[in-house]
Structure 1
Amino acid sequence: MTTPGHLMADEIASQPKVLAEVLSSYGEYLTPVLARLRTHDTRAVLLVARGTSDHAALYAKYLIETRLGLPVGLVSTSTYTAYDTKPALEGVVWIAVSQSGGSPDLVASTEAARAGGALTISLTNAETSPLSDATELHLPMLAGDELSVAATKTYTAALLWLWLLVEGWAEGDLSAAAGVPDWVDAAVDLPEVAEVASRYRFVERLVTTSRGFGYPTAREAALKLMETCYLSAHAFSGADLLHGPLAMVDEDRPVVVIAPDGAGGRTLEPVLEQLRTRGADVCLVAPMEVTATSQMRIPLPSGMDERLAPIAQIVPLQQLALQLAVSRHYDPDHPRGLQKVTKTT
């Protein structure tokens, strides 16, 4: 008999190796994509994805806006499918992110975008797929087969690929990512995660929050907790949390705060102050450079660039979802009612 969660556990542990493989192999795939981008008169970027990949796309949005200064949008696929819109997308770079590359709505909307004049790029883990066939350019995640329904290594691989794409497009220094596999390795097996899992074993409602580059991590962590532990997890940016949602926070609803070392972390200081005032049960996920206090803390590796930090930030939260699910006698490898490929149209 196999142990519940063994696939997810193995895939979380494999991430340093997967990321090292991406860093050793990206050149042959990325070079032609960058060459094409440099001949393209880009006025805007559109990103399309579903589920976990949607959070990778949100990360790319922050990267492109801060590094390239281009306007970026997250696509509503029903615009192109349910409403059969014929877009005029000359001057637009369309980036589609999908682990499987098989979601019909992603494929159909990408085909419409290409027909409308967009330069289309796909990032998928599948070697071949309808989505990669639909785009002019393609990048492979190189994560290997992912057998657990809960995506882990494809998420971090997608983040690294998107950083490489944007940093290369900006003609930056790609060697800045050399430390990523070591950061992730340091975040894979933190003893503090077990302490948090024990504290939150019987929690039914939870909030995750961050700002800037940490916000996609908050979104992805909430999704992992929902799909593996069946608890009600709500993700908010720190700015949004200070509006209406703050009213629902009290000592019975834990708040997981992802605080990067950098501008995003500094903007969370008033959020943490408000949470302290309300007596919230706060778990801080942050490097030791972030000196805020909290009831629980999951320490992240020090010295990470804020733009690259999300690749390591999510790893202990993947472990938290795994350990919480197993403690509740669930199998996170096979969440009930979920499949690997989203069949929306």
Structure 2
Amino acid sequence: MSETQSLMLQEAGQSPEVVATLLEKEKNAFAEIAKLFSDNAPSVVTTAARGSSDHAATFFKYLLEISCGIPVASIGPSIASVYAAPLHLKGGVHFTVSQSGASPDIVALQDAAKRGGATTIAVVNVVDSPLAKQADIVLGLNAGPEKSVAATKSFIASVAALSGVTAAIGGKRDLQHALEKLPEALLSTVGIDTAAAEEVLLGATSLYTAGRGPAFAIALEAALKAKETASLHAEAFSLAELMHGPMRLVQPGFPIIAFAPDDAAYANNVQALERLQKLGATAVPFSSQPLAGINLRVPTTGNGLLDPLVSLLVYYRLIESVTRRKGFDPDKPANLLKVTETM
């Protein structure tokens, strides 16, 4: 295993600074979006994204619905780019989340949303991209160049930016306070020992990732990273859904990566994990609280809804190490490119 740090590991480690920068530099954008919601009170919000960015949009969906009670619906980009269907979004607000802002399908959907009457907001790292140029409001990620194919700092920045939007829209002081503590919490993950969890994943052929609420979005991202970097088959589920059909595959030693923050779902998550472990599952829970299994204790922002993002940085380091130990290059996964231009 090379002693040289991968770009993936380097870029993930930049996340605390990136988050601190975007929260400071994008204050005007947060205020503009808050005013938009205050003036127009949209009854629904729509999103569009691909890959990791879509997981960030899923985090936003749960956070906004929980914090502000505003429904969030994801629209598949192909609705515009392939099926050329008109959208009826008069008075709506449409968010597009993208690192590059270059894929034709999400640009096409943003255009369709605007023609359908929505105000469009681009949450994007490349602020001179086609997506940003056509949006009504641009919320920059301020993540800088990201060279590894596996998105890390841009994903964390996307979630932080959308969490900032939620805090601004809802006037949520607790969420705003947690956001202010997020860079410090991310930085405090340095040195967390993932060795025992690495051994579980090195011996695995398949696994589940799980969580509820915003943590489910982090489980989706974790499963994607396991596949694209470590070539490890992983499926993401709500811990509630795992109690149904997917539980059939749980055999002795089956790994379950669980994101279990100290939020309203915590007690239910603990019960689910206990049941899965009785079936023989090897649980690897990420939480600020002590849990049975190979427990990775993480720092807290003081808000359980935001804490899964802190856990994710630890997971990024875990899966990067597993990838290299398996002999793969986490920066150059087979068959993949950094910018995928889909239709």
Classify the TM-score, shorter chain: over 0.9
Query: What is the SS of the residue equivalent to 1:21?
Result: helix
**Which residue does the alignment assign to 1:161?**
161
**Which residue does the alignment assign to 1:117?**
117
- Contact (CA 8 Å) 2:47, 2:72: kept in 1 or not? yes
Matched, 1:183 2:182: no
Task: Output aligned runs, 1:1-345, within 5 Å.
Answer: 6-173=6-173, 174-191=176-193, 193-288=194-289, 291-294=290-293, 296-302=294-300, 304-345=302-343
Letter in 1 for 2:334: R
Distance 2:23 2:255 in 1: 37
- Contact (CA 8 Å) 1:12, 1:188: kept in 2 or not? no
TM-score by length of structure 1 reads: 0.94
How far off is 1:5 after superposition?
5.4
Q: Give % identity.
A: 33
Q: Deviations over 1:220-260 (max 9, x none)?
A: 11111110000101110011111100000112421111111
Figure out how many residues of one structure are paired with residues of the other and give that number.
Answer: 340
Which residues of structure 1 form unaligned runs of 5+? Answer: none
- Contact (CA 8 Å) 1:188, 1:319: kept in 2 or not? no
Q: Deviations over 1:119-167 (max 9, x none)?
A: 1101000121111122111110001111111000001111111011111
Distance 2:13 2:291 in 1: 29
Distance 1:123 1:60 in 2: 12
Of the structure 1 ranges 38-47 and 89-98, higher mean CA displacement relative to structure 2 is found in: 38-47
- Contact (CA 8 Å) 2:253, 2:280: kept in 1 or not? no
Query: What is the SS of the residue equivalent to 1:344?
Result: coil
Distance 2:178 2:316 in 1: 24
Of the structure 1 ranges 51-60 and 33-42, higher mean CA displacement relative to structure 2 is found in: 33-42
Distance 2:5 2:331 in 1: 5
Q: Deviations over 1:25-67 (max 9, x none)?
A: 2213322333333222412001111100011000100111112
- Contact (CA 8 Å) 2:81, 2:105: kept in 1 or not? yes
Letter in 2 for 1:264: A
TM-score by length of structure 2 reads: 0.95
Distance 1:151 1:264 in 2: 28
- Contact (CA 8 Å) 1:208, 1:222: kept in 2 or not? yes
CA RMSD of aligned residues (A): 1.6
Query: What is the SS of the residue equivalent to 2:149?
Result: coil
Distance 1:25 1:205 in 2: 41
- Contact (CA 8 Å) 1:213, 1:264: kept in 2 or not? no
- Contact (CA 8 Å) 1:91, 1:117: kept in 2 or not? yes
Change (3 A) 1:110 1:4: farther
Distance 1:246 1:48 in 2: 31
Change (3 A) 1:5 1:241: farther
- Contact (CA 8 Å) 1:96, 1:123: kept in 2 or not? yes
- Contact (CA 8 Å) 2:43, 2:71: kept in 1 or not? yes
Q: Deviations over 1:82-123 (max 9, x none)?
A: 221111110211000001101111010110110010111010
